[in-house]
């Protein structure tokens, strides 16, 4: 850019219009006036249409690469949550604690994810995505190293919590990265693939970690999944350092304005982002209090409850599946964790359904001239959500030794199919319904789901031990069945309910 005012970058907001990709277009009638006043007026640096510096104008390959890298960062954080679940019995023997206490190594990590983003998400908005997300991931890796080196149970639990606390940053903030460079017309499809990274970390993790745990052997076999997680995170961070570019437009424009001031000596040049000062009051009211305030509204609460419940069931299954197959078929070790691959198959099929839903919504968006209709996110959920409880019932009542193992695995795949459609649909709706406050809505959702995901595994042994696999799985299926009407109710009355919501009204 010319250091003297490619005047397309030096204009007020009133002289800018939005293009469909979120870039800005200058009203060219003001060019001469702007250049003549360049030394007397405060000059606002903005991206022009087609500006190569704007992330919206990156090549498709670069966008896909960044989606993959941030997705892998999230995958590694979710994968880390499962590193101790296959070795619960080994942890119990090594530290001489009960199964329930050993499960705290998983639960505290997930609870860390619940609280961490509340503190670190603002950093990605203020200082940029790259340093906030990968910096937090680095700290998470350090605490994971501490977990792998723990000599007593208390230090293991403490390091696991803080590994999740810092690891939660990529889980929440990476989703916001997609809005930095994908237009609204294709963003929902990109979100499907991003969400698959989130879920696959949880579903693939137990299989890989069980292989590491049971094939290595020795008294310290439970440490190997933690070491492996550190290697994965370290590799991702090295790749990110050399290949990932900053994508937050506000931060990029602040860099550009700083360079222009340095080259021209004209201190009137500035970026809107430089006017933002994240003080303690804003930090508390916006990033800590608002998510909880939004969680108290009907739409956010019930959708967060639905998404969080099914996410909690996923973690309950992840941590209890080896136990259930041991009870019904005598499967142990790696063999007892292999049914998690059936969950992965269901997630992939759910991803296909979500892509179809994204393409369907894109057509509706184009027909409505780019104006979002949040309630149109619900039809895919209305079609496929019933697979969640149905799959659990199939799993429950085919878990007999005389029934072929493929039958309960089909149930697990159906459960995962329904889970992923529900999980993705709730997120998409919250983003569309609360555009301006989407980050707070997602933070509320993440907090709620992480709490349930951290708590559910703790009662898995009691649930299946006291009720048996058949009635234990049926119990959680009945609760899931009771939530199926939620998308139907909000599809019919969501618009009316949103009109009374203070956070939604501000953007309507």
Tens-digit pLDDT string for the chain (508 aa): 443 334 334 443 333 333 333 334 333 333 333 333 344 346 888 888 888 888 999 999 999 999 999 999 999 999 998 888 888 888 888 899 888 888 899 999 999 988 887 777 777 777 888 888 899 999 999 999 999 999 999 999 999 999 999 988 887 776 678 888 888 778 778 888 888 888 888 888 888 888 888 776 656 788 899 999 999 999 999 999 999 999 888 888 888 888 988 888 888 888 887 777 767 777 777 667 888 888 888 888 999 999 999 999 988 988 888 888 888 888 877 787 788 889 999 999 999 999 999 889 889 988 888 788 889 999 999 999 999 999 999 999 998 888 999 999 999 999 999 999 999 898 888 888 877 677 778 878 888 888 898 888 888 888 888 899 999 999 999 999 999 999 999 999 888 888 877 776 544 4
Instruction: Categorise residue 465: left if φ over 0, alpha if ψ from -120 to 50, beta otherwise.
Output: alpha
Identify the helix (H) or strand (E) that includes residue 286: none
Distance CA 151, CA 80 (A): 19
Distance CA 330, CA 131 (A): 48
Distance CA 475, CA 305 (A): 17
pLDDT at residue 23, as a whole number: 39
Domains and CATH numbers, the chain: 7-52+248-277 (no CATH), 59-246 (1.20.1250.20), 279-508 (1.20.1250.20)
CB 165 within 8 A of CB 394: no
pLDDT tens digits for 73-100?
Answer: 999 999 998 888 888 888 888 899 888 8
- DSSP secondary structure, 11-78, as one string: --GGGEEE-TTS-EEE-GGGHHHHHHTTTTSPEEB-PPTT-TTSGGGS-HHHHHHHHHHHHHHHHHHH
C-alpha distances out from residue 68 to 75, 77, 127, 178, 193, Å: 10, 14, 22, 11, 9
Q: Among 394, 362, 377, which residue's Cα sits nearest to residue 474?
A: 394
CB 189 within 8 A of CB 362: yes
Pairing type for strands 24-26 and 16-18 reads antiparallel
In the block, residue with structure tokens 């490619």? 6
Q: Is the dihedral of CA 20, 300, 291, 140 positive or negative?
A: negative
3-state secondary structure of 250: helix
pLDDT at residue 175, as a whole number: 63
Q: Which residues of 240-251 are buried (b: 16+ CB within 10 A; e: fewer)?
A: beeebeebbbbb
3-state secondary structure of 458: helix
pLDDT at residue 33, as a whole number: 35
Distance CA 73, CA 468 (A): 37
CB 80 within 8 A of CB 140: yes
End-to-end CA gap in the chain: 37
Tokens describing residue 371: 């104006």
Pairing type for strands 24-26 and 43-44 reads unpaired
Tokens describing residue 244: 């990932």
- DSSP secondary structure, 192-247, as one string: HHHHHHHHHHHHHHHHHHHHHHHHH-STTGGGHHHHHHHHHHHHHHHHHHHHPPP-
pLDDT at residue 476, as a whole number: 93
pLDDT at residue 226, as a whole number: 93
How many other C-beta atoms lie within 10 A of the C-beta of residue 502? 10
pLDDT at residue 139, as a whole number: 94
CA dihedral 223, 225, 228, 230 (to 10 degrees): -70
Q: Cα 434 to chain center, whole Å?
A: 17
pLDDT at residue 418, as a whole number: 95
Identify the helix (H) or strand (E) that includes residue 86: none
For 435, list phi and psi in degrees, rounded to 5: -50, -50
With both helix axes pointing from N to C terminus, report the angle between 184-216 and 298-329 in degrees, rounded to the nearest 10. Answer: 30
Alpha helices in 96-183 (DSSP H): 99-102, 104-127, 129-148, 153-181
pLDDT at residue 234, as a whole number: 93
pTM score: 0.80
């Amino acid at each position: 850019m010319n250091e003297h005012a490619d005047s397309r970058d030096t204009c007020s907001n009133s002289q800018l219009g939005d293009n469909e990709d979120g870039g800005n277009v200058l009203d060219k009638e003001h060019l001469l006036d702007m250049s003549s006043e360049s030394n007397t007026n405060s000059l606002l640096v903005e991206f022009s249409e087609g500006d190569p510096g704007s992330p919206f104008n990156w090549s498709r390959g670069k966008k896909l690469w960044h989606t993959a890298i941030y997705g892998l960062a999230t995958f590694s954080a979710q994968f880390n949550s499962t590193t101790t679940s296959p070795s619960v019995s080994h942890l119990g023997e090594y530290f001489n604690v009960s199964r329930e206490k050993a499960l705290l190594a998983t639960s505290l990590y997930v609870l860390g994810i619940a609280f961490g983003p509340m503190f670190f998400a603002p950093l990605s908005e203020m200082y940029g995505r790259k340093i906030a997300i990968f910096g937090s991931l680095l700290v998470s890796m350090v605490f994971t190293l501490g977990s792998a080196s723990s000599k007593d149970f208390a230090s293991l639990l403490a390091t696991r919590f803080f590994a999740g606390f810092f690891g939660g940053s990529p889980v929440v903030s990476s989703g916001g990265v997609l809005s930095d460079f994908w237009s609204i017309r294709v963003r929902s499809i990109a979100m499907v693939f991003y969400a698959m990274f989130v879920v696959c970390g949880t579903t693939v993790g137990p299989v890989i970690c069980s292989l590491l745990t049971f094939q290595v052997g020795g008294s310290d076999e439970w440490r190997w999944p933690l070491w492996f997680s550190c290697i994965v995170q370290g590799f991702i961070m090295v790749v990110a350092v050399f290949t990932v570019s900053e994508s937050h437009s506000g931060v990029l424009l602040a860099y550009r304005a700083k360079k222009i001031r340095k080259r021209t000596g004209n201190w009137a040049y500035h970026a809107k982002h430089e006017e933002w000062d994240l003080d303690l009051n804003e930090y508390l009211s916006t990033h800590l209090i608002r998510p909880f305030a939004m969680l108290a509204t009907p739409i956010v609460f019930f959708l967060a409850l639905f998404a969080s419940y099914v996410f909690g069931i996923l973690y309950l299954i992840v941590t209890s599946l080896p136990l259930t197959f041991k009870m019904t078929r005598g499967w142990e070790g790696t063999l007892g964790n292999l049914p998690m691959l059936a969950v992965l198959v269901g997630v992939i099929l759910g991803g296909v359904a979500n892509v179809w839903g994204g393409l369907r919504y894109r057509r509706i968006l184009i027909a409505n001239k780019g104006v979002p209709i949040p309630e149109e996110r619900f039809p895919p959920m209305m079609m496929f959500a019933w697979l969640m409880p149905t799959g659990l019932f199939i799993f429950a009542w085919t878990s007999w030794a005389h029934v072929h193992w493929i039958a309960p695995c089909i149930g697990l795949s159906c459960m995962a199919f329904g889970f992923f459609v529900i999980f993705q649909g709730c997120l998409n709706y919250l983003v569309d319904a609360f555009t301006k406050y989407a980050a707070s809505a997602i933070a509320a959702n993440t907090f709620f789901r992480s709490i349930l995901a951290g708590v559910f595994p703790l009662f898995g042994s009691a649930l299946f031990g006291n009720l048996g696999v058949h009635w234990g799985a049926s119990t959680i299926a009945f609760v899931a069945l009771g939530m199926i009407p939620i998308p139907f109710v909000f599809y019919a009355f969501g618009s009316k309910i949103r009109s009374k919501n203070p956070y939604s009204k501000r953007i309507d």
